[in-house]
Amino acid sequence: MAEMLNTRSQQILEAVIEEHIATAQPVGSKAITDRLEVSLSSASIRNVMADLEEQGYLCSPHTSAGRVPTEQGYRFYVDTLMRVVRINQQHKNRLEAEYRGQGLQMAELLRSASKALSSVSCYTGLVMMPRLQKTIFRHIEFVKLSSRQILVVFVTQSGLIQNKLIEIDEELTASDLEQITNYLNQEMAGLSIQAMQSRILSEMAEEKALYDHLLQRALRLSRAALENDTDSEVIVEGTSRFLEQPEFSDLDRMKRVFQAFERKSVLFDLLDLGLQAEGVQIIIGSETEYSEIAGCSLITAAYSGKRGSLGTLGIIGPSRMPYSTVIPIVGYTADLVSRLLNNDTDKDTDKD
């Protein structure tokens, strides 16, 4: 779309967007005159702004003669006009201070990341916990709670701990569970949960399993423990930040946003879009199917372990946000979390 706008139109569109980001008010020609380095008459600026409105980059609120950017305008700005700045040292220090010397477990680390994102950006921080299916299995333990109930404790190579209660149809002794645990830890360690599931199904179909009672029980138990574990938690911090934004003073609009926070599946789907993408991703309002986030933008980046992406983190706020400074905050946080997770994995490996 860049070929549709000449240099002057791009300069004026950039000035309108940056003025609106700074003030949250409709922008008139005088404000653009003050911002532009080149000398243009107010009439010329108004003509260009009228053209930009006709082309869909700007719109005029009913209550004002000024103009505000549309989602199309923001998208053009982000893709073509914006100059991303380097994250400043103060922001780096604040992000790193959340973790320094704490030795956090993965769940705590990611919760701290969501808090740090919200605190530093002044918007709402989001972190998607790793999909269990994609993580690498390290250890499993079965704890007998009653004659028919067993607590399964998974530990992944990246430090994620997940518990699950399962029902069994035959009573197993503590000795049985210990043998099953030892077998699975010896045979399955180092596989992804997905690969582990495939191997379990394959071994259950083999003739050996038909005649090996312990193996049968081990495979049945592990299969039950791994069923229906495709969902991931989304950690949300700083939802009250939306109350500080003038765009969301309208009660109905605010309700829609908070409904999205309550329906974690919406946030999960949005964060999942950035899981396999490289670098920082920007989603603006109605570019998704979710009407709840109309008027919002989501900036995300994937964090990773040694074997690839584990999850996604990011910031959600009004489309009128300072992208050039928020983008490096998200990118740096994803890199920082990845480094910390990899360091913890290295330490665990050394202990082994």
- Residues 68-124 pLDDT 10s: 999 999 999 999 999 999 999 999 998 988 877 556 677 788 899 999 999 999 999
High-pLDDT (> 70) share of the chain, %: 88
Assign 5 to helix, strand or coil.
coil
Q: What is the pTM of this model?
A: 0.77
Question: For the domain bounded by 2-81, which CATH number is listed?
Answer: 1.10.10.10
The CA distance from 78 to 337, in Å, is 25
Complete DSSP assignment for 42-58: HHHHHHHHHHHHHTTSE
Q: How far is CA 182 from its chain centroid?
A: 36
Residue 349, pLDDT score: 42
Residues 6+ apart with CB under 8 A from 325: 85
Average pLDDT over residues 6-27: 94
Using the structure block, give the residue that is written with the tokens 């569109």. Answer: 13
Q: Is residue 255 scored above 80 in pLDDT?
A: yes
As a CATH number, domain 133-226 is 3.30.390.60
Q: Which two tokens stand for residue 129?
A: 């916990």
For the cut 60, the answer to whether the pLDDT of residue 130 exceeds it is: yes
Is residue 273's pLDDT more than 80? yes
**In Å, how far are 80, 308, 322 from 85, measured between CA atoms?**
15, 27, 11
Lowest mean pLDDT: which of 28-32, 97-101, 172-176, 276-280? 97-101
Dist. CA 135–CA 144, nearest whole Å: 25
Higher pLDDT, 75 or 160: 75
Q: Residue 230 — very low, low, confident or very high, per pLDDT cuts 50/70/90? A: very low
pLDDT value for 351: 42
DSSP type of residue 264: H
pLDDT value of residue 159 = 65
Confidence of residue 12 (pLDDT cuts 50, 70, 90): very high
Per-residue pLDDT of 208-219, as tens digits, reads 655 577 777 777
So what's the pLDDT on residue 174? 85
Query: What ranges do the domains of the chain cover?
Result: 2-81, 89-130+232-351, 133-226
Determine the length of the chain: 352
Architecture field, domain 89-130+232-351: 2-Layer Sandwich (3.30)
* pLDDT over threshold 80, residue 352: no
For the chain, the average pLDDT equals 84
Do 2-81 and 133-226 have matching folds? no
User: Which two tokens mark 56?
Assistant: 């869909």
